[in-house]
Amino acid sequence: MSFLNNVITGISLGSIYAIIALGYTMVYGIAKMLNFAHGDVIMVGAYVCFFAMGSFNLPPVVGVLLAVVVCTVLGMVIERLAYKPLRAAPSLAVLITAIGVSYLLQNSAQILWGAATKTFRPIVEGSLTLVPGQLSVSYVAILSVVCCVVVMVGLTLFTGQTKMGKAMRACSEDKGAAQLMGIDVNATISMTFAIGSALAALAGVLMCSAYPVLSPTTGSMPGIRAFTAAVFGGIGSVPGALLGGILLGVIETFGKAYISTDLSDAVVFAVLIIVLLVRPAGLMGKYVPEKV
């Protein structure tokens, strides 16, 4: 029974990592940049939903939608002001700018909303009982797993079938060639950020529903974990992000339950290193050998 409990805990935790990792991997796959500010956009999304539901008593659905809209706009503004001027710059310059944006969002949030931790009211409450008193799954966990799968399928269809999606894939493959084919690379990348930020808002709301504390630094640690999950699954691969996130959650939980709670971080990262040594491009990433 405790094994099943751990599996459920692991998947619940993993689904949160996965939904953040989906946004991460989306931006990375197309814009080829590590957006370290992604975790902080999540935090902003959660705050927007928190105030919508807490201060204005709006229903959860409106709260989520509002968070999605605000984060999408925020994502596009950040992209326009901070990342777009750096299109031609080395990738590390963009990385540092993203870190700057991350600090900026954290500190602005603290000035605007204070440093004190707030308790987030979950958008859905309660849990589904499987075995009374022993085994139960929270509705938030079920919702986040469902969201993950829907988002993953949606993104796969979007990038595979629609014109915009194909343009994104073309940009990811070769920006120069895409431009020659008449694709507006700048607009495509801006669109990617809009989608990534919308996903971040969703992730923020789900994360804070599952683990209902909210402070200006809430996004930083899950941001790193999601980055790890995205790499684990093969960065740039949408199904990989889902798989990587879930596996990371399960490994973390099992590490805590069966190895040691003292060294849970070390266990997770050691497994990560071993996996990468065996599969250098992550679980679902394509290993492209360099050609001469």
**Taking CB under 8 A as the criterion, which residues in 42-101 touch other proteins?**
50, 54, 82, 85-86, 88-90, 92-93, 95-97, 99-101
Site membership for other proteins, residue 273 (CB under 8 A): yes
Kindly report the number of other CB atoms within 10 A of residue 79's CB atom. Answer: 23
Judged by CB under 8 A, the chain residues 124 through 163 that form the site for other proteins are: 127, 133, 136, 138
Contact window for other proteins (CB under 8 A) among 5-13, 170-178, 184-192, 195-203: 5-13
- Regarding 9 and contact with other proteins (CB under 8 A), the answer is yes
| Smallest separation (angstroms) from other proteins to the CB of 181 | 25
Count CB neighbours of 187 within 10 A: 12
Q: Shortest gap between Cβ of 241 and other proteins (angstroms)?
A: 14
Q: Cβ 245 to other proteins, closest distance in Å? A: 14
Name the residue with tokens 């509002």. Answer: 66
Tell me how far, at minimum, the Cβ of 159 lies from other proteins, in Å.
20
The yes or no reply on residue 281 touching other proteins (CB under 8 A) is yes
Residues 251-270 that bind other proteins (CB under 8 A): 252-253, 256-257, 261-266, 269-270
Q: With binding defined as CB under 8 A, does residue 272 bind other proteins?
A: yes
Nearer to other proteins, 101 or 167 (CB): 101
- Which residues, 24 to 43, sit near other proteins by CB under 8 A? 28, 34
- Give the interface segment with other proteins, choosing from 18-26, 65-73, 178-186, 278-286 (CB under 8 A): 278-286
Structure tokens belonging to residue 17: 């990592």
Map the footprint of other proteins across residues 224-243, applying CB under 8 A.
224, 227-228, 231, 235
Closer to other proteins by Cβ: residue 148 or 167: 148
Residue 110 contacts other proteins per CB under 8 A: yes
The answer to the question of residue 112 lying near other proteins (CB under 8 A) is: no
Question: DSSP per residue over the chain, as a string?
Answer: -HHHHHHHHHHHHHHHHHHHHHHHHHHHHHH----TTHHHHHHHHHHHHHHHHHTS---HHHHHHHHHHHHHHHHHHHIIIIIGGGTTS-HHHHHHHHHHHHHHHHHHHHHHH-SS-EEPPPSS--EEEEETTTEEEEHHHHHHHHHHHHHHHHHHHHHHHSHHHHHHHHHHH-HHHHHHTT--HHHHHHHHHHHHHHHHHHHHHHHHHHS-EE-TTTTHHHHHHHHHHHHHH-TT-HHHHHHHHHHHHHHHHHIIIII-STTHHHHHHHHHHHHHHHSTT-SS----PPP-
- Output the smallest distance, CB 100 to other proteins, in A: 4
